[in-house]
Amino acid sequence: MRILVTGGAGFIGSHVVDRYLALGHEVAVVDNLVTGSRANVPAGVKLYTVDIRDAALEGVFTDFRPNVVNHHAAQANVPASVADPVYDASVNVLGGLNLLKQSAQVGVSKFIYASSGGAMYGEPDPACIPLAEDAPVRPLSPYGASKQALEAWLGVYQRTFGLEYSVVRYANVYGPRQGIREEGAVIAVFATRMAAGQPVTIDGTGQQSRDFVYVGDCADASVAALQRGAGAAVNIGTGIETTIQEIFDLLAEIAGYSRPPSYGQARQGDVQRIALNPSLASRELGWSPRMALRQGLAETYSYFQEQVGG
Ligand SMILES: NC(=O)c1ccc[n+]([C@@H]2O[C@H](COP(=O)([O-])OP(=O)(O)OC[C@H]3O[C@@H](n4cnc5c(N)ncnc54)[C@H](O)[C@@H]3O)[C@@H](O)[C@H]2O)c1
C-alpha cells in the first residue's frame, strides 16, 4: 500500500513509519518539523516538509496519491494548548480537516487517526478505572478538546464521502525517540537525567498514576488498523495504573541510580489517576499490548543512555 504518515518525523509517527516499511509498504511523510526531526525519517522515505494547514498539502496528495493516511501530526503539548488554544485548534482541527478533505478528493481508502485517551476523558471516576471508550468525554485542556473534536469530522467524512477511518486513542506513550520537552515525557526526562547522573524531581507526591504504553505497541495498532477496526475508536493502553513513584523506582534500579528524588509542586490541571481499558481494541483490531513495563523501560533507558553518551 501507499501510506502517507503525517507527523512521521516525530516520536510515535516515526515508529509507525518503521513498522510499515518493514512490512513492505511504500511510505511517505508529511511533517513541518516543528517538533519532529529529519533524522527520524529513514533514507528512501519521501519527506514533504509541509504544514498540514497549508494549501500546499494538495500537491502532496496529488503527487503521492496515498491509499492510506495515518495521521500523527499535531500540536501535542498540553501547556502550549492552554497558552495558545487558537494555534492548537488550527493545527489539530483545521489541519486535520485539510487532511480529510484531501483524502476524500484522491479516494483514500482508510484514514487512521491518533487521538488521545489520556487527554479527552479528563479526571475519571475512580470506580470506572480502567476507562472504556464510553466513559464521559470531558477534557481539561484545549488540547484534549481539539484532539476529540476531529473525531466528529471523521464520522462526517465516513457518512457523507465514504472515507473509512479508525481512531486509536493512546494512553501515555513512552519509548525511544521521545522528545524530553514533550508533554507527558516523564520517562524520557527521568531516563535522561539518570543517565547523566543529574538530580530528578517528581512533580507532586509521585502517587499520581498513568497508563504507560510502549511506542512499539502503538505502532502495532497502526498496522492492525490497516485491515481492521473500520469506524471504531479504541483505547490503546494497558489497563494498568502505574504511579510516577513506581516509574522512578523501576528506572533507578535499571540505571543503577542511587540518588533519592526531590518532590516539587503538583502540576496544575494534571489528572490524579487514569488507565485505559484495551478490551475494545482487542475485539476490533486484534490488538493487545505486548511489551512488559520493565522491559520497555530497560529499552527506553538504553536509548537515552546512548543519547547522553553515558
Ligand atoms: N505522546 C503521547 O503520549 C501521546 C498520547 C496521546 C496521543 N498522542 C498523539 O500522537 C501523535 C504523535 O505525538 P508525538 O508524541 O509523537 O508528538 P511529536 O511532537 O513527536 O510528533 C508530532 C509531529 O507532528 C509534526 N507537526 C506538528 N504540527 C504540524 C503541522 N502543522 N504540520 C505538519 N506537521 C506538524 C511535528 O513536527 C512532529 O514531527 C499526536 O497526534 C498526539 O496528539 C500522543
Nearest-angstrom CA–CA distance, 19 and 33 = 20
Q: Is 165 a catalytic residue?
A: no
Q: What is the DSSP string of 221-252?
A: HHHHTTTS-TT-EEEES-S--EEHHHHHHHHH
Per-residue pLDDT of the chain (310 residues; tens, 9 = 90+): 999 999 999 999 999 999 999 999 999 999 999 999 999 999 989 999 999 999 999 999 999 999 999 999 999 999 899 999 999 999 999 999 999 999 999 999 999 999 999 899 999 999 999 999 999 999 999 999 999 999 999 999 999 999 999 999 999 999 999 998 877 799 999 999 999 999 999 999 999 999 999 999 999 999 999 999 999 999 999 999 999 999 999 999 999 999 999 999 987 767 899 999 999 999 999 999 999 999 999 999 999 999 998 5
| CA-based torsion, 57, 61, 63, 64: positive or negative | positive
Domains of the chain: 2-173+213-239+276-290 (3.40.50.720), 174-209+241-273+294-307 (3.90.25.10)
Binding-site residues, ligand 1, Cβ < 6 A: 7, 9-13, 31-36, 51-53, 72-76, 91, 95, 114, 116, 118, 147, 170, 172-173, 179, 182, 184
Give residue 310's pLDDT. Answer: 53
**What cell numbers appear for 132 in the block?**
472504556
Atom of ligand 1 nearest to the CA of 90: 31
CA of 74 to the centre of ligand 1 (A): 4
